Structure 1
Amino acid sequence: MFDFDMLGLAPALNDALKRANFSQPTPIQNKAIPLALEGHDILGLAQTGTGKTLAFGLPLIDHLLAQPGKPAPKTAKALILAPTRELVNQIAESLRNLTKKTRLRVATVVGGQSIGKQISFLSRGTDILVATPGRLIDLMERGAVDLSSVRHLVLDEADQMLDMGFIHALRRIAPELGTPRQTMLFSATMPKQMEELSQAYLSNPQRVQVSPPGKAADKITQSVHFLSRAEKPGKLRDILSRDTDALTLVFARTKHGAEKLMKGLVEDGFNAASIHGNKSQGQRDRAIKAFRAGEITILVATDVAARGIDIPGVAYVINYDLPEVPDNYVHRIGRTARAGREGEGIAFCAPDEVDQLRQIQKLMKIEIPVASGSMPEVAEPKAPRKRGGFRGRRPQGTNTGRKPQGSKQRRPRRRSAA
């Protein structure tokens, strides 16, 4: 393990790290930064909360500081793509703290904000552009941004972007980027599609991995409560009442469910707010800011926030509803135990969620300790019946609605009166 000041970073970066009280890199930073400084493409695998932003941010800024000249109007020198507005804002905030006393500018473009204002500040050019793919394509189609000067591309939380149809957006964006360029791809999980993505867009990448894909941070204590859906509200209030000052993130499956849950908690005297897709960007930003400051202690969210909340003080993550996608469980509980702290991930599992729990445990290769209740006896889901017709005789009671070929339709047998 080495200190940041042993990396040979630009003096301005070393000063920024000292101001932020960063002295030693995390394992993913320890492995990725030297390779990225040498100009290699990077395929980085590490669970959330391990410092991936600095792993790509420090070498990126160092390269840009060494390049003379300001960006031309409408252009950017580096592009960072992320799946959610919250993550874009979090990345940009971290980078701005590092570039505060330099000539570099960091800009963001996300949906839910004034596209006119985004067009205005992009007209002046920027060094680093952090964007969600959808809004970036909108700006490209309006001629508001020119990506031909981009020589550094970062794909952060790329596995979630794949789930959101990102591959189609990347096919639209990538041909517009400058070449040659350095590409860094970071992810917490490694589905097969990710391998294909890396082969298509990275050139001889250096693979850096600090934990098996799908593994949660070591300092997260996990547990599961088996209970009915009707019992969930009471169990949640019981847990929240034990430590009312702790920052707690509660995940619900749907936007409606998150809002209803939040309002019920507020009615019962809990200090709660919510963020989900039906909230405006301003409402989401204000809720996260209040949560970060401790003005609210409970934040109810959908998975839109799973990758975008970087708040070191989150003590508990409660999966009120288990996610449909097992990887999302890893990202959810990764919102706690950040920056070397300890945290707790609590899951509620109703009888109809047992299969989701099994998939999560299969992904993580662990048995989550049971805190209360017991796993219901739920049969394994049956394999779907293959199409292509029945074998042998058609079961009684089935009706295709077609007449047998070469035969007349039989009349129903007349029943005698009893």
Structure 2
Amino acid sequence: MNIFWFRRDLRLEDNVGLFHALSSDEDVLPIFIFDETILSQLPKDDARVTFIYQQLEKIQTQLQAIGKSLAVFHGTPLEVFAKLIDENKVKTVYTNHDYEPYARKRDLELNLFFKEKNIEFKTSKDQVIFEKSDVVKDDGTPYVVYTPFSNKWKDNFRKTKLIHYKSEDLLNKITLHSYSFLSLSDIGFESSKIKVTHYDISNALIDNYEATRNFPAMNKTSYLGIYLRFGAVSIRKMVANAIQSKNETFLKELIWREFFMQILWHFPHTINSSFRPKYDEIKWENNEVLFQKWCEGKTGYPFVDAGMRELNATGHMHNRVRMIVASFLCKHLLIDWRWGETYFATKLLDYEQSSNVGNWQWAAGSGVDAAPYFRIFNPTEQIKKFDKDLAYIKKWIPELNSLEYPNPIVDHKEAREKCLRVYKAAVG
């Protein structure tokens, strides 16, 4: 028997690792593990856990229609595999690559364990088009600026045949088994009240993406992030959709995702440290009272507050607004970007460590391809550009223009001047 381990690839169709498992000579046990190391850090109604569970239910429904089923476990991966190997004669464990530092450490330990048991551990590239060192400079070093990376990505893509892995046609190779499909309550969780918006990759959205994506009131973003994060959709299908449009803006966003993934792969220290080391010399003020006001959307800056309230209520924040709130935290409040990154990690449905770290470091000026530190968003001017009718802001701040709405917690001009002094003292 072989095992296929679902992780960040929660679908039966066009799943590379699953395709290879089902193409082997052995019957396949499909499993998912709710990793208690990760779950222990999350609230019991975490919307992402609910989303994962809903995707597993979809897989289970599809499998039950052909008399098969998915096995769902709760524990550490090492404990679960030790039990499975003790109870079954397992030849190979198949799964798909995961690139985050925790996942790399986990897979390294599992690989050693499997070797001791004479079991092969085969992993495949599934959640990206290009990974690791697939897109590098001619001298083999990684790109740290987006535009040349993007150009090389597109060059490589033109030479690549986009394959659809028809894993969905091989499901008869799934073995019958008696393992349970655990419920949310079995793992100590409950359904979240936050509802995930279904993604939109229609031609109308993609073709008009450049013209509409910066205006939060228009609600013209794809909501694809969480589906890509957990592999509920195939990246190959999403890229194929994007390629069909004459407008490349949507494709560029998918390439940004892979750019940040390869940065995290080559520079894993950036989850905790600035890519540009001198930026770790910045004397952050880290005022906890001001941080709390930022978290709650009570800074007195409407664009910032609307964004934070949207995030807290829905687990989503419009991309343009993410830049505004991140810049405000780092540059106006002089609060360490890591505080903001950690807060986003607890709230964002589409939290992707590589993109989140990369974008926060961009906002702070400390990362690859970063905005220069003297570029400081004026949150009031941003309203004039991107929400001049206040439609987005009023949706999230009904008390705007009333005595209930707080005064600004800092003065823009003074905060900007202080930021420039502090940054200059640190980085010259």
TM over 0.5: no
TM-score, normalising length: structure 2: 0.28
Larger Rg: 1
Higher helix share: 2
Higher strand share: 1
